[in-house]
Each structure stands twice: as C-alpha cells, then as structure tokens.
Amino acid sequence: MRRRVSFVVVGILGLILGACLMMLLRPTKSTPAPAWPVVEVAKRVEPSVVVVLNQRKVGGRVETKGMGSGVILNRQGDIVTNYHVVQGADVVTVVLASGARYPARLVGIDPPTDLAVIRIHARNLVPIRFARSADIQPGQLVVAIGNSLGLTHTVTVGVVSAKDRVMYRDGWEYHLIQTDAAINPGNSGGPLVNDRGELIGINSSKIAQAGVEGIGFAIPSDTVRAVVDQLIAYGRVRRPWIGATLQATPNRQMGLLVVAVAQGGPAFQAGLQPGDLITAINGQPVSSLRDVVHVLEHLSVGGVVEIRAIRGNLPLTVRLRLEEAPSSRLRAS
C-alpha cells in the first residue's frame, strides 16, 4: 500500500514538473514594438495633401506642363502651394488623395515668399493642422510629403538642419527651414510636418548640384499662415512702405541716407527730404536695408512709425503713416 502511494506521489510530481517545463519551453508572445511614428504621421497627413497640375492650352488642347503639391487649408477649399508651381498656368487642376479631380481658381499669389493660394469646390476636405515654426529645434524629426518625380504621396524623413537659412533667388530674399529630408521636383508646395503631423513648413526648393546632397528647404509655417491669410482676404500681401529710397552709408554705424522721396508718399507727407540720415525706426537702430525690412515686416499698412533722423547737424524726429507698397499690389489674374 505504501509503495502504491509512493508511485502516485511520484507520478503527480512528474506531471507538475512536466507542466512547468512545458511552460518554460513554450514560446512567449513578444510585446509589439512601438510603431515608427512616421507611419501614423503619413496616415494623418495624407488626406490633406493634393496634387497640383500646371496645365497650358496648346492648339485647342490642354496639356500638363508641370506637377507639384499643395496642402488643404480649410473646408472652404483653399489650398496653399508654391507660386512657381502654378506660375504661367492657363488651367490649374487639383487631384485629391482619393483620386477625385477638381478645377482650381487662383485666389492670390506672392512671389516674394513663393506662395500661392488656389481654391476648389469639394466636400469632406481635411485641413492640415498648423504648428508654430518659431518653436522648432534643429535635430527634431520631420516628415516631407509630396508628389516627387510624378510619384504621388511620396514620404521622406529627416531632421531640421537649421531654423533660419537666408537664401536668394530671382532677386528675392527667403528665410527658410533647412532639412535633410529628401525634397525632389514635384515636392514643391507639399507639407513639411513634425512628429504630430502638424505643418511646420511648405517645401519650396532643393539645392541640386554636383556634390551636394541632403539639403532641402521649406517656407516656415509662421510665414505661410501670415501670407495665406492676406491672400485669402485681399488676393495679395499688403506690405507696408515708407515711400523713400534708402542707401547704406560708408560708415554703417551712421544710419541710412535718404536718396529720394516718392512724391505724395508717406515720407514726403511726413517731411523727410533727400539728404536726411535715418538712424532709427520705432526706436530700432538701422544701418542696412535689411534692418528696415526687419522692422517693417512686423508692422501693417496704416500703422504709424516714429523715425529719428539727422538733417545737416540737427536731430529730427518725424511720424509717418505706412502705406501699401506699390510692388505688393500684385493680384492673381
């Protein structure tokens, strides 16, 4: 009897040991790795990205001469793209992520920032969300989405290389975000977004020359928001103007020399004269034309500025009301 009990105990212990071994040897389910954030970013942003076709009328036919990208701004159908994407177009066509095609109307253009707004009439549009480009930091993850080389909704990844790169093209000065995310022909007008899928820039250009790789540029979202708001409201960007031609002096510390004053313009009405030396605008010392632009770009048409100047050996202070710069009166046609 005692032997039978021993066998039973041994058998039970064997079963328990075997079960334990089976549990130890059984493959465990691996915890899924966190998803690469770019996957979710691309899914979130894709409905807000469109194809923009630049089409020309040739011999009674409409032919596509160029293709770029655009970003949906609101449910009313406003779309931002690059000015050079739609420049010279007889017909502009927008293709949504769903494949639906719509004719677009040009709302406004701004060559100095290479931005344009076009409008379509469509339902269920998905506007992109904006982030402040002033808050971005070099090294942060960014995703560029566009229609590069004719391939729609291409996704590239990189980082912010620099926040404020000054570039010059066609006589204009651009303040841009530099990124190493690949930006190729067709990406122009598409979004550069952060890891939350929020717009921090509009892709604009790429340095393409032998030995140079990984340098792309985007127009900062703070600039984009300010420009598109005016394009939608006025069809143009109303830039302030003081109505005087200024020139830097050999001694840059002295200020800016007034070379000419526009008849009837703001400077003329305020009493400024050729030969006056402007030393400060609204308390900000000025010694270059860029200094003047820095002051004026934060002001609006109709605002009043205080100008300190020197006439001969006498200090002079005048107040003038800013008017719209004649060169900014470009409208979409």
Write out the catalytic residue numbers. Answer: 84, 114, 188
- Give the pair of three-digit tokens for residue 183: 């930006």
Smallest CA-to-CA distance from 206 within 244, 237, 167, 155 is with 167
Q: Is the dihedral of CA 294, 141, 153, 210 positive or negative?
A: positive
Residue showing tokens 């200020």: 255
User: How many angstroms separate the CA atoms of 197 and 251, rounded?
Assistant: 48
User: How many angstroms separate the CA atoms of 82 and 68, rounded?
Assistant: 8
Q: 126: buried, middle or exposed (CB in 10 Å: 19+, 13-18, 0-12)?
A: middle
Q: 24: buried, middle or exposed (CB in 10 Å: 19+, 13-18, 0-12)?
A: exposed
Evaluate whether 231 touches 108 at the Cβ level (below 8 Å): yes
User: How many angstroms separate the CA atoms of 269 and 321, rounded?
Assistant: 9
DSSP single-letter state for residue 153: T
User: How many angstroms separate the CA atoms of 204 and 223, rounded?
Assistant: 13
Q: Is 230 helix (H, G, I), strand (E, B) or coil?
A: helix
**b/e map of 183-196 (b: 16 or more CB within 10 Å)?**
bbbbbbbbbbbbee
Smallest CA-to-CA distance from 126 within 49, 48, 240 is with 48
